[in-house]
Amino acid sequence: MSWSPSSWRDFPIKQQPVYEDRDELKRVEEELRSFPPLIFAGEARNLKKELARAAKGEAFIVQGGDCAESFSAFNGDTIKNLFKLILQMSVVIAYSSGKATIKIGRVAGQFAKPRSSDFEEKDGVKLPSYRGDIINDIAFDEEARKADPKRMIRAYFQSAATMNLLRAFSRGGLADLNEVHRWNLDFIKNHPIGKKYEELSSQIDKAMKFLKAAGVTSENTPQLRQTTLYTSHEALLLNYEEALTRIDSITGDYYNTSAHMLWIGDRTRDLDGAHIEYFRGIKNPIGCKVGPSMKPDELVELVKVLNPENEEGKLNLIVRMGAKKIDELFPPLLRAVRDANLNVVWTIDPMHGNVEKINGFKTRDFENILSEVKSFFNIHKQEGTIAAGVHLEMTGEDVTECTGSTSCPITPDDLSDRYHTQCDPRLNAKQALELAFMLAETFES
């Protein structure tokens, strides 16, 4: 079966906007096609190698960021705080587990959203649903909700600027292991979880002093002073993804150059659908969400289509069952893939199966999130397989979107205080850090 970056167009497709002005859409696609790539294929190959290590239990994946990035919340502080939070979580996990961490942001391109309904109704007015800032605007009025192709151009430039800052932070000194205290966010410092982090930082300082005495310093050891943060998003809007799919001059293979890793959402993973067709042809490491409706046979077939050469580190299955369903639904899927000798990288998204509505807010309870993560680890332990990482919706800001947690007990009545998400509720920095400490304990036990 021949493949091209546009062959998805011959397949049934879900969750796409309706663009009224087809000529404008074509013009925008042409323009995007002429723009420089945002990543280099060699970086995507490096990530694939690292993911292969995670699948063997030698490294651990921390993937996280917004449910949906927005044009309005685009600023340097938000990006910096997310970067610092990922570094903090990584160091907490690495210190206890002794494993390298692979840092992947849901960032610099995470704009398009699948929706449960094509329309939203308010006070008798029915309008197209908000589908993410790359497609339309969240305001509830007719003009705002029209799908506008030009938004893809803005999303591209915002992604480029975000990526630029992340690369600067990664290489410019902020990620230096001598700077661990600086990663602690101001609004966390005086909370129990911030203090716990400070204690760990002091231990790391001691280790750094010892290394310095032994002659190992940031100056002579780049690994101590810099890091790599990979980027990822759900490749939902295929017009955009196709335009950024390019042939790598070194290998002659096609890579999606809009992010290092792309994933397929739970609502668009039909075997005969356009998204699977698109994904089977790109060489990047890719992910696929695995929700409660997935059947073992279906999953085995899907894995074979998405990773035909059974490459290690190529395919990340992101399990998102919900705390109450994972114990029943996940083991048969895990066994089917294992028994078919298929190489996959298993991670857990404890967010999307645990959504509830309280006081009119879409929220998630921290207890359910922790519980699903723990079940995921336990099941792998029982089956002799590897839990390779976590996939989270989180922010370095002090929001009140998910309820619960010990260090930061947000009640249903607190939700309205700082509920800022464009789409799904995110863990705030304290909650995310608390989750990292829980993972650290899991590794120590």
Instruction: List residues binding Co ion (CB under 5 A).
Output: 67, 424
Q: Binding ligand PEP by CB under 6 A: which of 65, 114, 194, 396?
A: 114
109 binds, among Co ion, ligand PEP, none (CB under 5 to 8 A by kind): none
Task: Tell me the CB-side half-sphere exposure of residue 408, using CA atoms within 13 A.
Answer: 26
Closer Cβ to ligand PEP, 257 or 422, answer by number: 422
277 binds, among Co ion, ligand PEP, none (CB under 5 to 8 A by kind): none
Q: Nearest approach, Cβ of 297 to ligand PEP (angstroms)?
A: 21
Task: Give me the residue label for tokens 């001691």.
Answer: 206
CB 425 within 8 A of CB 361: yes
CB 269 within 8 A of CB 146: no
Is residue 265 a contact point for ligand PEP (CB under 6 A)?
Answer: yes
Q: Binding ligand PEP by CB under 6 A: which of 50, 266, 365, 434?
A: 266
Q: Nearest approach, Cβ of 274 to ligand PEP (angstroms)?
A: 15
Total site size for ligand PEP, rule CB under 6 A: 10
Rounded distance between C-alpha atoms, residue 53 and residue 43, angstroms: 16
233 binds, among ligand PEP, Co ion, none (CB under 5 to 8 A by kind): none
Closer Cβ to ligand PEP, 134 or 175, answer by number: 134
Q: Binding ligand PEP by CB under 6 A: which of 84, 233, 289, 364?
A: 289
CB 361 within 8 A of CB 416: yes
C-alpha closest to that of 166 among 113, 217, 226: 226
Q: Is the dihedral of CA 425, 429, 430, 435 positive or negative?
A: positive
DSSP-based three-state secondary structure for 330:
helix
Q: Which two tokens stand for residue 80?
A: 């910096």
Q: Binding ligand PEP by CB under 6 A: which of 67, 175, 262, 317?
A: 67
Rounded distance between C-alpha atoms, residue 403 and residue 355, angstroms: 11
For ligand PEP, the binding residues in 200-259 under the rule CB under 6 A are 234
Closer Cβ to Co ion, 68 or 337, answer by number: 68
289 binds, among Co ion, ligand PEP, none (CB under 5 to 8 A by kind): ligand PEP
Q: Which residue is nearest to ligand PEP (CB)?
A: 265
Interface characters, 349-388, with ligand PEP (x: CB under 6 A): ---x------------------------------------
Binding segment for ligand PEP (CB under 6 A), chosen from 260-268, 298-306, 329-337, 409-417, is 260-268
Q: Binding ligand PEP by CB under 6 A: which of 320, 364, 380, 426?
A: 320
Q: Return phi, psi of residue 276, to 5°.
A: -65, -40
21 to 93, 118, 132, 245: CA distances (angstroms): 49, 19, 19, 23
C-alpha closest to that of 420 among 389, 438, 393: 393
CB 442 within 8 A of CB 377: yes
265 binds, among ligand PEP, Co ion, none (CB under 5 to 8 A by kind): ligand PEP
Closer Cβ to Co ion, 53 or 352, answer by number: 352
CB 412 within 8 A of CB 359: yes
Q: Nearest approach, Cβ of 318 to ligand PEP (angstroms)?
A: 7
Q: Nearest approach, Cβ of 289 to ligand PEP (angstroms)?
A: 4
C-alpha closest to that of 258 among 163, 326, 151, 383: 163
Dmax over CA atoms of the chain, in Å, equals 71
What's at 26, amino acid-wise?
K
Binding region for ligand PEP (CB under 6 A) = 67, 114, 234, 265-267, 289, 291, 320, 352
